Structure 1
Amino acid sequence: MSEKMNRRKLLKNLGLGAGVLSFSNISGIFASELDLTPETLSSGKIKHSVCRWCYQDIPLEDFAKACVKMGISGIDLLRPSEWDIVEKEGLVCSMATDDFANIIEGFNDLKNHGDLQEKYSGLIKKASEHNIKNVICFSGNRNGMDEETGIINCVKGLTPLLDYAQELNVNLVMELLNSKVDHEDYMCDHTDWGVRLAKRLNKPNFKLLYDIYHMQIMEGDVIRTIRENHQYINHYHTAGVPGRHEINDSQELNYPAIMEAIHATGFDGFVAQEFIPTYKDKLAALREGIQICDI
């Protein structure tokens, strides 16, 4: 193993657990021994991102600068007004959104199609102009609708947008969310439903956002599910179960094993941290999450 990798492993070991050390503490102790560059902190196996909404109390420019220092290369769920801020720091918007993107009122309801198609067309065009590859979308709630009708309606609503987005080299990515704890009645709440929709659409630029937290709650069996369905997934989110907090040993998921399974599929997209920090130092919590996933 190279000296650089040994240093990275040492830093990871120092950062994990309840007594997380800050970068300033580590720098003070090991300044002459460790090269604290982003490359030192990342193995390159996992491309790291983070969801902005979990750190809203940190100004975006400051947050972007901190992300760069951690080896994070993307920030999820940014609106168009925020893209220039992170791009100035050398980051990308790894998953685009806007205010109209609605978890409850989605593509499974025909009455939403006209409005969603108009607004998503605009967002897709803006994303393309910024070389942003992924735009998030949602199924919407069931509201008594059966699953097959939901798939049929989503196909009708998404197909023209996917044709347009493909011309602009943009993916539409539907998030898998749990309907048990956080998003009651949401339709795309199992991997099987999302995969059935993807197969029915049969479009290369329609993919799933596999949220590990949400799918652990709904179905478990995370690693096998990823192995069997990875071709339909182009993005991952993390959080601890239960509670949606840090992904360390305070919760039930084995994130290093999950990351190894994701890497083994040949995945080259982003894994975004989406846990709600409980540490007083929220950036220390994020740093710990990145280190846990940086296999």
Structure 2
Amino acid sequence: MAPLKLCANISWLFTELPDFSQRIYAAASAGFQAVEAAWLYDCDLQELQRAREAAGVEVILINTPPGDVKEGDLGLGAVPGREEEFRQGLDLALKYAKALDCKRIHLMAGRVPVGSHRLAVAKEMEAVFVHNLNYAADILSKEGITGLIEPINTRITDPRYFLDSPHQAAAILEKVGKPNIKLQMDVFHWQIMDGNLTQNIHKYFPIIGHVQVAQVPGRNEPDSAGELNSSYLFNLLENLDYQGYIGCEYKPLGSTKEGLGWIKDYCTRSK
């Protein structure tokens, strides 16, 4: 079994450095061959291109723009009445993805509108999401890019996020039915919402297009104290022959570099 490939989420790691381009260099210096990020849209695209090429790393994943953060947006994919803004955001994400040779875009679902009850708007939001995902699938397929949807837990992280469980996501993906729209598995969110990780990973593995890791409940290094056994989970993914990257999307307990010992331990065990 080949060891899993790890990529640094530079929205979470190397935040000691203010600039994303600097974080790309830092990730490469730390041994990462790939990076991912949430939103790079405040950065100069040419500068990011230069950093990626000079550092020799791949950019694995970016998110669609969140919308109006000051007004409480966190993605627009499932938000009724915001379809045109979603398309504009997709265009921007595609521009950055193509320039950075990034082959995955997380199509963020967004939050249940303020003042609305989740159950009352669930069907409408799902219909909007399915419609937007079908649109995105056609656009992205022309560029060889995979769209991803990610459940985010509503118990700790974001109580109003629309997409909050792997089961809900899988049902939506079945309705979309496009091979280039897949499931993004963040084990942090899956554990908090549903647990049962072994069975859920086996069940949904065929539709998983990307994986992210962090410990529960603190969202720190995978080997820090918490509920998850990272060695077991990595071994499970190895046995399933997972070929993609594992995004390291966690909050370092200290400096990023000080917390990277778990990667050396994993690589040693995998030899």
What is the TM-score when the length of structure 2 is the normalising length?
0.84
Work out whether residues 7 and 32 of structure 2, in 8 Å CA contact, stay in contact via their aligned partners in 1.
yes
User: Which of 104, 110, 113 does residue 134 from structure 1 map onto?
Assistant: 104
Query: 2:150 maps to which residue?
Result: 175
Work out whether residues 246 and 276 of structure 1, in 8 Å CA contact, stay in contact via their aligned partners in 2.
yes
Q: Give 1:239 deviation, angstroms.
A: 1.1
Q: Give 1:249 deviation, angstroms.
A: 4.7
Structure 2 gap segments, 5+ residues each: none
Q: Give 1:264 deviation, angstroms.
A: 2.0
Query: 2:228 maps to which residue?
Result: 253
Tell me which protein shows more helix as a share of its residues: 1
Query: 1:16 maps to which residue?
Result: none
Name the CA shift for 1:98/1:107 in 2 (closer, same or farther; >3 Å): closer
Q: Report Cα offsets for 1:1-57 as digits up to 9, x if no partner.
A: xxxxxxxxxxxxxxxxxxxxxxxxxxxxxxxxxxxxxxxxxx842111011122222
CA distance in 1, matches of 2:252, 2:258: 9
Work out whether residues 108 and 140 of structure 1, in 8 Å CA contact, stay in contact via their aligned partners in 2.
yes
Q: Give 1:105 deviation, angstroms.
A: 4.3
Q: Which moved more, 1:246-255 or 1:94-103?
A: 94-103
1:288 aligns with 2:255: no
Q: Give 1:247 deviation, angstroms.
A: 1.8
Query: 1:85 maps to which residue?
Result: 51
Name the CA shift for 1:66/1:118 in 2 (closer, same or farther; >3 Å): closer
Query: 1:207 maps to which residue?
Result: 182
Indicate the SS of the match to 2:11: helix
Q: Give 1:96 deviation, angstroms.
A: 1.6
Q: Which moved more, 1:81-90 or 1:214-223?
A: 81-90
Which one has a bigger Cα radius of gyration?
1
Identity of aligned residues (%): 17
Q: Give 1:108 deviation, angstroms.
A: 1.5
User: Which of 215, 224, 233 does residue 240 from structure 1 map onto?
Assistant: 215
Work out whether residues 64 and 75 of structure 2, in 8 Å CA contact, stay in contact via their aligned partners in 1.
no
Q: Give 1:149 deviation, angstroms.
A: 3.1
Work out whether residues 76 and 93 of structure 1, in 8 Å CA contact, stay in contact via their aligned partners in 2.
yes
Q: Runs in 1 of length 4+ with deviation above 6 angstroms?
A: none
Query: 1:144 maps to which residue?
Result: 117
Q: Give 1:83 deviation, angstroms.
A: 4.2
Amino acid paired to 1:115: E
Q: Report Cα offsets for 1:231-268 as digits up to 9, x if no partner.
A: 11111111111111122251120111111111222221
Name the CA shift for 1:291/1:105 in 2 (closer, same or farther; >3 Å): same
Query: 1:112 maps to which residue?
Result: 82
Work out whether residues 125 and 168 of structure 1, in 8 Å CA contact, stay in contact via their aligned partners in 2.
no
CA distance in 1, matches of 2:143, 2:177: 18
* Aligned-residue CA RMSD (Å): 2.2
Query: 1:74 maps to which residue?
Result: 34
1:95 aligns with 2:61: yes
Aligned residues: 251
Amino acid paired to 1:131: D
